[in-house]
């Protein structure tokens, strides 16, 4: 078992009076894929938004390699090595594919050309469409671009919020192939999905979230085989 790169303890997120995340704890070990699954409104995105500094946690701690990052601003958190691929992709529609990738590296001062080529190797489709406006890409291509843009910050941990949402099954398989490939290259990944089947097949470890709490955890295979997970999330 490798060391935890990210350690979440008793994390709470509130929006006014609404308790969206009610004190959850989990680890993301270096080099692994960890997934949080759960129904709409369970608090998955809120958890990622708290880790990335977009919302301030109401309580608890978040450690990246032993350093407390809870309450830091999003720019500092990206600089420290955590990048979020947000829900809905949020690419810049009027910028070209290549310009979108450059935006992902905006905090870096070193040479980024090698990394653009790395992203193009991972996503040959993006290379073919280097000059195309982001907004005119298909949904699957936009998702590739969102992942590629996040990789351009050279994160230690990449967090993905529902990368498969709204994509056709064959495109979803392509996205999961890429998730496995970047993990094989050493990337630590925290993945949120409603496609529990694909997520649990891909992840080393999974956590089930229900109304702001973690109710179950296990290896991906353990959760896939669990009767209550099957009934609630796998439709079998």
Catalog residues that contact ligand ATP under the rule CB under 6 A.
15, 18, 20, 38, 40-46, 194
CB of 233 to ligand ATP, least distance (A): 12
- Our CB check for ligand ATP shows the closer of 43 and 105 to be 43
182 binds, among Mg ion, ligand ATP, none (CB under 5 to 8 A by kind): none
Question: Pick from 20, 30, 27: which is nearest to 54 by CA?
Answer: 20
Q: Does 153 bind Mg ion (CB under 5 A)?
A: no
- Our CB check for ligand ATP shows the closer of 18 and 231 to be 18
CB of 177 to ligand ATP, least distance (A): 23
Q: Are the beta carbons of 96 and 130 closer than 8 angstroms? A: yes
DSSP 3-state of 76: helix
CB of 23 to Mg ion, least distance (A): 19
Cα-Cα-Cα-Cα torsion 96, 182, 120, 193, nearest 10 degrees, comes to -30
Question: Taking CB under 5 A as the criterion, which residues in 119-148 touch Mg ion?
Answer: none
Q: Does 45 bind Mg ion (CB under 5 A)?
A: yes
- Our CB check for ligand ATP shows the closer of 119 and 167 to be 167
CB of 107 to ligand ATP, least distance (A): 25
For residue 114, how many other CB atoms are within 10 A of its CB? Answer: 9
Q: Does 100 bind Mg ion (CB under 5 A)?
A: no
- Our CB check for ligand ATP shows the closer of 42 and 112 to be 42
**Alpha helices of the chain — where are they, by DSSP H?**
44-51, 74-80, 97-104, 113-122, 124-128, 139-151, 169-184, 196-202, 220-225, 227-229
Residue 167 backbone class (left: φ over 0; alpha: ψ -120 to 50; beta: rest):
beta
DSSP 3-state of 61: strand
- Give the total of residues touching Mg ion (CB under 5 A): 1
Q: Which residue is nearest to Mg ion (CB)?
A: 45
Tokens of 11: 């994390």
DSSP 40: T
CB of 113 to ligand ATP, least distance (A): 36
CA distance 25 to 213: 9
CB of 42 to ligand ATP, least distance (A): 4
Q: Segment near Mg ion (CB under 5 A), from 11-19, 28-36, 39-47, 176-184?
A: 39-47
- Name the site residues for Mg ion (rule: CB under 5 A): 45
């Amino acid at each position: 078992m490798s060391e935890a790169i990210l350690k979440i303890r008793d994390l709470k997120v509130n929006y006014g009076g609404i308790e969206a995340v009610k004190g959850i704890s989990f680890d993301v070990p270096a080099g692994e894929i960890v997934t949080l699954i759960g129904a709409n409104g369970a608090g998955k995105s809120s958890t990622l938004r708290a880790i990335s500094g977009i919302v301030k946690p109401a309580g608890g701690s978040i450690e990246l390699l032993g350093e407390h990052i809870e309450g830091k601003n999003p720019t500092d958190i990206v600089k420290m090595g955590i990048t979020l691929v947000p829900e809905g992709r949020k690419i810049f529609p009027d910028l070209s594919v290549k310009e979108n990738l450059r935006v992902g590296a905006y905090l870096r001062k070193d040479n980024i050309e090698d990394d653009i080529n790395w992203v193009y190797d991972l996503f040959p489709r993006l290379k073919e469409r280097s000059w195309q406006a982001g907004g005119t890409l298909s949904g699957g291509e936009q998702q590739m671009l969102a992942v590629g843009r996040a990789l351009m910050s050279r994160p230690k941990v990449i967090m993905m919020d529902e990368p498969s949402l709204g994509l056709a099954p064959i495109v979803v398989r392509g996205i999961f192939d890429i998730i496995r490939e970047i993990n094989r290259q050493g990337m630590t990944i925290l993945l949120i999905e409603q496609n529990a089947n694909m997520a649990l097949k891909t992840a080393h470890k999974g956590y089930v979230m229900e109304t702001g709490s973690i109710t179950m955890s296990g290896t991906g295979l353990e959760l896939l085989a669990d009767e209550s997970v099957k009934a609630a999330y796998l439709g079998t």
